[in-house]
Chain A
Amino acid sequence: MERLLHCTTALSIILIVMVLTSVRRAHIRVEYSVSWLLASIALLGVSLNPSILAMVSNLFGIDYSPIVLLLIAGAVFLLVFFRLSVIISKLKDDNIALAQRLAIVEFYLRHDREQA
């Protein structure tokens, strides 16, 4: 159990460093880094405080605490992935609307040029 917590602690620290580095280098926009930062901080908090794990284990009647850790991590990252899907869907809608508008404007321009 302790070794697993060390691993998740290290993993969450690496994730935080990666996110902050990416923000600094402008590889990820600040608004999209927030989900990842919150997720990795939550994972770090749980990893550094086994009492949280014990409390949640008791709450759900789970005897084996590492399962709770995996469940929490899975739930947090599922939420992040869902948020990303929402963002991608909006981007796709915007992209299609832009492509449609561009095609129409190009059509008008070509049409006007042919008429001139």
Chain B
Amino acid sequence: MAKVPLEPVSGEKLLVLVPAYNEEGAIARVVKAVGESMPGVPVLVLDDCSADTTAATASLAGAHVVSFPHHLGLGGCVQTGYRLAFELGYEYVIRVDGDGQHDTRDIPRIFQALKESGCEMVIGSRFVEDNGQSTGPVRSLGIHFFRAVLRPILGKTVHDPTSGFVGVNRRALAVFGKSFPLEYPEIEALVVLQRRRFRFLEIPCKMLPRTTGRSSITAIKSIYYIVHVLLGVLVNVLKYERGRKIVEDK
């Protein structure tokens, strides 16, 4: 499949990022689905040193591919995509997971919300409206816990703080290119934005069931996740003075 050119651009241009690790079973479908939902929009797959054919499969499906020399983790991958998008002059970037769980038909609405709201970040949320979306009990407990933690920090409720279906504009790209959590980035990224007095918006989106591969989250990893993210949130909150300086410099 022919690739959409990825030339340095100016003006209102969108790039779709797809971080992927061992997703050869789903990646082609994701790339094609993005192409159907957003014709003419380039897709950049960030292959986190997969052991399978993710990179080649994505390239054949029509995506541009960035391959890493070793496994960086989700945050490291996504930050690379943000840096590259910023260097190439993109105005908007929407991130879609490579496992096919995000419904790419929601991308146009996220893009529209990014352009019209002026918010630095738009989150595709499963829970902002009761759209019949549910998740496992442990994950649900974690989401409620982090909602409660983030409420006083962000000054408003974020219904789906762990969502990876996220769009950002160029102002956020400039910040995330320099400072982005390297592991479990979603929740910490919200705090990073808040420290710069940036705004976010949630719009309802659907999550599809995983059809290939399996989730890497185990019970022990969940506990590690909670401790890690809590510490990350705390560290970012303590960067208050630095954050204020950045706002003043804008």
Q: Which residues of A contact B (CB under 8 A)?
A: 96, 99-100, 102-104, 106-107, 111
Shortest beta-carbon distance from B9 to chain A in Å: 14
Q: For the complex formed, measure the closest distance between the CB of A86 and the CB atoms of chain B, giving whole angstroms.
A: 15
Contact partners of B70 in chain A: CB under 8 A = 99
Whether A99 contacts B76 in the complex (CB less than 8 A), given A104-B83, A107-B84, comes out as: yes
Mostly, the B contact residues are mixed
- Contacts between chains A and B (CB distance < 8 A), count: 33
Q: Check A103 against B6 for contact (C-beta < 8 Å).
A: no
Beta-carbon contact of B67 and A106 below 8 Å: yes
Contact in complex: B182, A96 (CB < 8 Å): yes
* A89 CB to nearest chain B CB (Å): 11
B188 CB, nearest partner CB in chain A, Å: 15
Closest to A95 in B: B70
For residue B79, CB closer than 8 A to chain A, the reply is yes
Please name 14 pairs of A and B residues whose Cβ atoms are closer than 8 Å in the assembled complex, sorted by A: A96-B72, A99-B69, A100-B68, A100-B76, A100-B79, A100-B83, A103-B67, A103-B68, A104-B66, A104-B83, A104-B87, A107-B64, A107-B65, A111-B6
**B80 interfacial contact with A, CB 8 Å:** yes
Provide the bound-state CA to CA distance between A111 and B72, in Å: 22
Q: How large is the interface on B (under 10, 10 to 19, 20 to 34, 35 or more residues)?
A: 10 to 19
Assess the B69–A102 pair: CB atoms within 8 A: yes
* Min C-beta distance of A105 to chain B, whole Å: 10
Q: Are B67 and A104 in contact, CB atoms less than 8 angstroms apart?
A: no
B68 A99 Cβ-Cβ under 8 A = yes
A93 smallest CB distance to B (angstroms): 9
**B55 to A: closest C-beta gap in Å:** 11
Q: Which residue of A lies closest to B71 (CB)?
A: A99
Contact partners of B66 in chain A: CB under 8 A: 103-104, 106-107
Q: Which 4 A-B pairs have the closest CB atoms?
A: A100-B80, A107-B66, A103-B68, A103-B66
Q: How far is the CA of A91 from the CA of B76 in the complex (A)?
A: 15
**B65 cross-chain contacts in A, Cβ below 8 A:** 107
Per-residue contact bits, chain B 176-213, to A (CB 8 Å; 1 contact, 0 not):
00000010000000000000000000000000000000
- A99 CA to B83 CA in the complex, in Å? 13
**Chain A residues in 8 Å Cβ range of B6:** 111
